[in-house]
Each structure stands twice: as structure tokens, then as C-alpha cells.
Amino acid sequence: MKKFSGSFTGKVNWQNDVTLHHRGGHHLNFAEVSGEQDCSDVKWKGATITYWNFSDIKGDESTFHAYYSNIDKEGDRDWGRIDGRTFKDNGEVKIEGKWVLDGGDGKFKGIRGNGRVWGNAISPPDVKLDWDGEYEI
């Protein structure tokens, strides 16, 4: 397995939020976020990542499940999922989780990998995420 790491700043393209009235501060959120990857591995440098995130928010904390797709400059794609949580720390919204690389096409055909992700909400609608992990093709 080859180790790699990277980061991206993403913008929320759209989101929908539903308030659940059974208790205060509980809602569900579905959003699409995209941005450009900066990566230690040239295969992903400048790739566009898009992820679709479903969050179960209770007060200042949430759990989330997301699916993502990276498209490199030649149009080859890889995809996977992220599971994690968000929480407030000194007034800042923090994000942490684990990702799994499930597959790809073109030069990413047969790819598998996993790792961790962490970051924070910079300001609505921006997020800054860092990640690391390993993969094999």
C-alpha cells in the first residue's frame, strides 16, 4: 500500500435541511460540496472532488455519512465513502472521520484504500479538510 495525503477547500453547492420537531435542536441535512484537491501524489493533484453528505445533527454535534468522487485532469475517476462526526470546539466547527476508497475507472480501475479526514468549517459555505491514508491499484 502506498501512503499519501492531501487537502482541499470546498464550497457547499447546495443543501437541504429538515427540522425534526420531536426534540429541540435536531435536524437532518443533505448537502453537496466540491473543491480542488492538493495531494502529495501527482495522480490527485488538481483533481476535483465532489461529495454528497448526509448529517444527523443534534445540538452542536452531528454524525455524517458521505459518498465522494474525484475526477482528475484527464477525466479518470475514483470514488468512495466517508463516515464521521462534527462538533464544536471553542466555537469552531470541527470535522473528523474515516474514508474508504471503493473503486475507480481509467487509471484508477481496481483501486482500494482507506484513511482519515479532519478539518473545520471555515465560514459558511466553506470547509477545509485535510486527509491521509494509503491505497493500492
Confidence band for 114, pLDDT divided at 50, 70 and 90: very high
Rounded average pLDDT over 10-39: 93
From the list 74, 30, 78, 70, the residue with the least C-alpha distance to 54 is 30
> Is a pLDDT exceeding 90 seen at residue 36?
yes
- In the numeric block, the cell 453537496 is attached to 32
Every domain of the chain and the residues it spans: 2-136
Q: How far apart are CA 130 and CA 39, in angstroms?
A: 10
Q: What is the CATH number of domain 2-136?
A: 2.40.350.10
* CB-based contact 54:62 (threshold 8 Å): no
The pLDDT, as a whole number, for residue 123 is 78
Q: What is the pTM of this model?
A: 0.90
Largest CA distance in the chain: 49
Q: How far apart are CA 15 and CA 77, in angstroms?
A: 24
Write out pLDDT tens, residues 51-96. Answer: 999 999 999 899 999 999 999 999 999 999 999 999 989 888 999 9
> Is a pLDDT exceeding 90 seen at residue 24?
no
